[in-house]
Amino acid sequence: MESQEILCLWHGCQLFQVLVWKEIEYSQLSEAAKQNLVLEVNLLRELRHDNIVRYYDRVVDKARSTLYIIMEYCEGGDLASYIKKMKTSQ
């Protein structure tokens, strides 16, 4: 299962940045899919480009078999949702 949540970083009363986390439950994934997930996180960590969503961190909750990928918030949603929306509007 995969979902996204909005995360706000606060310091006192001042908002620093709005981030999201991508939540991935990995207990049902095959070993190959788990390896691809590790590769994706490692790749995101290295990428720095204005047109690529910025990766900030990852958190592994072993008790829940869940990986959280912390990323920059993009107001328009993700690319997959945008493509789906464009296909249905045609």
Residue-range domain boundaries for the chain: 2-89
User: Bigger pLDDT: 1 or 75?
Assistant: 75
Neighbours of 21 (CB within 10 A): 19
According to the model, what pLDDT value does residue 15 have?
59
User: Bigger pLDDT: 5 or 90?
Assistant: 90
32-86: pLDDT as tens digits: 999 999 999 999 999 999 888 899 999 999 999 999 999 888 877 777 788 888 8
| CA geometry: angle 9, 13, 71, nearest 5 deg | 10
pTM confidence score: 0.71
What is the distance between the alpha carbons of residues 65 and 56, in angstroms, rounded to a whole number?
A: 20
Do 58 and 41 form a contact (C-beta atoms < 8 A)?
yes
CATH 3.30.200.20 fits 2-89, yes or no: yes
Tell whether the torsion through CA atoms of 8, 62, 38 and 40 is positive or negative: negative
